[in-house]
């Protein structure tokens, strides 16, 4: 197992303190669509997606150092040229480092549900934050969300139903069948074994 991760960090890690925002063409050396995963955990979804879609560029954001190190141990200079990671606690400040209309697809896979009512204020997905996602997405860009927490799913579906800038790809706002190309993470598999059923949502950013 890799222990010294300095070289991997230099290549794969982006710094969030970018005065003018990240320049993806410079970073990846191409104009391919940029996919963003928020809360990428141990990187299973991010890394497999990037392998499956070599014509896409993938940025994963995670705030826990331990998980960043787990991802760095998995990354290989030859196999994962189209992957970058960033250590950041994501909130509305995301728009300071991600330029407007620069992202083709956003994934939020099993965000922390903060089940207690008094903790709902900590939920990543709220109206103001979705406003930020709307700004960084390209017109017709997609946002995929998965959760096995039924009440959080309902909160998300209702939130998007009230917005004018997104349209659900599903008539009811959700599906119990994974979005095409979905990667099941260890977290999702464990929760399924415990009896939780994931709910999948996909929203399209309207072009006007
Ligand atoms: C329940 S885990 C799911 C991880 C992964 N998506 C999966 O399906 O295995 C949620 C992850 O989001 C990260 N996270 C939660 N809030 C975050 C935030 N505001 N900014 C960045 N990462 C966050 C957590 O550290 C954790 O790794």
Ligand 1: nearest atom to the Cα of 40: 6
Question: Terminal CA-to-CA distance of the chain, rounded, Å?
Answer: 49
- Whole-number Å distance, alpha carbon 144 to ligand 1 midpoint, is 14
**pLDDT tens, 73-110?**
999 999 999 999 999 999 999 999 999 999 999 999 99
Report the 3 state secondary structure along 142-160: EEEEEECCHHHHHHHHHHH
The rounded distance, in Å, linking the Cα atoms of 38 and 60 is 6
- Whole-number Å distance, alpha carbon 192 to ligand 1 midpoint, is 18
Residue span(s) of the chain under CATH 3.40.50.150 come to 92-208
Ligand 1: nearest atom to the Cα of 111: 10
Whether 160 contacts 144, CB under 8 Å: no
The residue whose C-alpha atom lies closest to atom 15 belonging to ligand 1 is 39
> Can you tell me whether residue 193 is helix, strand or coil?
helix
109: which 2 tokens?
A: 């896979």
Beta bridge partners of 62: 87
CATH superfamily for domain 92-208: Vaccinia Virus protein VP39 (3.40.50.150)
- Whole-number Å distance, alpha carbon 51 to ligand 1 midpoint, is 21
The rounded distance, in Å, linking the Cα atoms of 119 and 138 is 31
Ligand 1: nearest atom to the Cα of 186: 9
Reply yes or no on whether 55 is catalytic: no
The predicted model scores a pTM of 0.97
**pLDDT tens, 178-205?**
999 999 999 999 999 999 999 999 999 9
């Amino acid at each position: 197992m890799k222990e010294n991760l300095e070289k991997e960090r230099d290549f794969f890690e982006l710094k969030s303190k970018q005065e003018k925002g990240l320049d993806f063409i410079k970073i990846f050396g191409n104009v391919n669509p940029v996919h963003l995963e928020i809360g990428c955990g141990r990187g299973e979804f991010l890394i497999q997606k990037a392998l499956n879609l070599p014509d896409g560029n993938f940025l994963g954001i995670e705030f826990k150092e331990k998980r960043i190190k787990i991802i760095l141990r998995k990354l290989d200079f030859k196999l994962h040229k189209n992957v970058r990671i960033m250590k950041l606690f994501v909130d509305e400040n995301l728009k300071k480092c991600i330029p407007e209309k620069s992202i083709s697809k956003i994934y939020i896979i099993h965000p922390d549900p903060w089940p207690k009512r008094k903790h709902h204020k900590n939920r990543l997905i709220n109206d103001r934050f979705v406003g930020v996602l709307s700004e960084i997405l390209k017109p017709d860009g997609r946002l995929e969300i998965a959760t096995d927490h039924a009440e959080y799913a309902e909160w998300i579906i209702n939130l998007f139903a009230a917005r004018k800038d997104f349209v659900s790809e599903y008539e009811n706002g959700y599906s119990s069948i994974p979005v095409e190309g979905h990667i099941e993470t260890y977290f999702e598999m464990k929760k399924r074994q415990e009896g939780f059923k994931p709910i999948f949502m996909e929203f399209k950013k309207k072009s006007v």
